[in-house]
Amino acid sequence: MSEHSPLGASGAARWLACPPSYGLIQRTGAEGSESEHAALGTAAHKLADMCLESGKDAWEYIGQTINGYEVGSDPQTQIEPDAVQVYLDYVRPLAEASEISASELRLGQKWKPHPLYGGTADFVSVRQDCIEIVDYKHGAGLRVDPFENAQLRYYAIGAFKELAQHLPDDAIVKMTIVQPRFSGFRGPETFVETVGELRVWSRDVMVPGMLAAEAFAELGYATPGAYPDAVDYQTGEHCRFCPAILDCPKQKADFAAMTQGDADKMTDAELDEMFPKIATVKMYMRAVEGRIQARLMEGVAFKEVKLVKKRAAGRTWKDGVEAELAAALGDDAYNKDLKSPPQIEKLSKKWKDFVAENAFLPESTGYNLALASDSAPAANPSADIATQFAHY
């Protein structure tokens, strides 16, 4: 999953769709440090790899700290063992059925079509006439679709070159995503194509894309005034995770067009032209919000906006309640998982009283932006951290 190349797999959908983004990121230094979410995901990957190495299940690491994150049940701040276990339960049978398998396979050792090609594939299984790469996604917010996914293809061609060059062109390539924390998760999802099709993609799309990205960057470095302008950038869904979005000439131009235009007087043709820009301008505005939040978190005070504590998602059970519920209600204590406090309190007055005694609203984690006039009190992250330390 991890790679640090600026032309690596995780950004492939972006730099293939918008080759100048690579140079823009290099020029502005926007590719900063790993976000908190990404760091938690990296730690979850590490736990998965440790489990595959040791033969243990994820829950056996509860309480241990990996890359600075404890294995536990808080989805915001801890590595959830249940999520990692879903991935383990998928790849372990694959490993047993494989002629060759590898966890955290380093790419670009035997085949490097460009100096910046590289990365690490989470799990690779080579079986007769088939290679499968499995990518674990720890993110919960947006579903990652495996269909014609550039990141997966980037991993797959590299894994094929490392471990499976004996497979013929009509052999099957399976590219699977396991994203258990996504609320709509129904099981691993797989995109399938042949080795021949994957080879053509790498030859006709991936490698030319890397060269195009590099060419735009060199153009910009050599002659700053001639750096590609807005017309060379391509906006789209891939902008969502572009680290240079706030510096992007195309985003700025679209934002200006939208905010300075007179929508009331637009023709149908102009409205039609405006619509595709709305989605990407929303991404730009979210990035502006992210910048504001980062400054407030650093302690800068603004007049119009403040931080407020996020509302806790809902009540949760106190420790040890599950055994009591299971003993009293048996299977009725569960749907797939243990029923939530609101589900249990609907059973009867007796259970409503039980919930009042045995459930609690956890402390909220994280902050939101709000107008200064909002009735919620302004949060002070520095004071919160000091309070947490005072508990130790």
Question: CB of residue 280 vs ligand SF4: minimum separation in angstroms?
Answer: 7
Asked if 206 is part of the footprint of ligand SF4 (rule: CB under 6 A), the reply reads: no
Q: For the chain, what is the largest distance between any 2 Cα atoms, rounded to a whole number of angstroms?
A: 76
Figure out which of the listed residues 238, 306, 309, 339 binds ligand SF4, where binding follows CB under 6 A: 238
Question: CB of residue 295 vs ligand SF4: minimum separation in angstroms?
Answer: 20
Asked if 250 is part of the footprint of ligand SF4 (rule: CB under 6 A), the reply reads: yes
CA dist 371 and 110 (Å) reads: 55
Asked if 235 is part of the footprint of ligand SF4 (rule: CB under 6 A), the reply reads: yes
Asked if 16 is part of the footprint of ligand SF4 (rule: CB under 6 A), the reply reads: no
21 or 176: whose CB is closer to ligand SF4?
A: 21
59 or 221: whose CB is closer to ligand SF4?
A: 221
Asked if 244 is part of the footprint of ligand SF4 (rule: CB under 6 A), the reply reads: yes
The residues pairing with 107 across neighbouring beta strands, listed in sequence order, are: 119
Figure out which of the listed residues 233, 317, 354, 367 binds ligand SF4, where binding follows CB under 6 A: 233
18 or 88: whose CB is closer to ligand SF4?
A: 18
DSSP single-letter state for residue 312: P
Residue corresponding to tokens 């797999």: 9
CB 191 within 8 A of CB 175: yes
Please tell me the count of residues contacting ligand SF4 according to CB under 6 A.
Answer: 15
Figure out which of the listed residues 21, 151, 176, 358 binds ligand SF4, where binding follows CB under 6 A: 21
75 or 236: whose CB is closer to ligand SF4?
A: 236
Collect all residues with Cβ–Cβ distance below 8 Å to 134 and sequence separation of at least 6.
87, 90, 91, 94, 122, 123, 124, 125, 176, 177, 178, 188
Figure out which of the listed residues 2, 5, 234, 316 binds ligand SF4, where binding follows CB under 6 A: 234
Q: Considering only 27-35, 237-245, 314-322, 374-382, which stretch makes contact with ligand SF4 by CB under 6 A?
A: 237-245
Q: Considering only 104-112, 214-222, 235-243, 349-357, which stretch makes contact with ligand SF4 by CB under 6 A?
A: 235-243
Q: Tokens for 365, please give them.
A: 């984690």
- From the list 236, 231, 275, the residue with the least C-alpha distance to 250 is 231
Asked if 149 is part of the footprint of ligand SF4 (rule: CB under 6 A), the reply reads: no
- From the list 11, 12, 6, 27, the residue with the least C-alpha distance to 226 is 27
Asked if 18 is part of the footprint of ligand SF4 (rule: CB under 6 A), the reply reads: yes
Cα of first residue to Cα of last residue in the chain, in angstroms, is 35
Q: What are phi and psi of 157, to 5 degrees?
A: -65, -35
SS (H, E, C) 227-252: CCCHHHCCCCHHHHHCCCHHHCHHHH
Give the residues lining the site for ligand SF4 (CB under 6 A). Answer: 14, 18, 21, 24, 233-235, 238-239, 242, 244-245, 248, 250-251
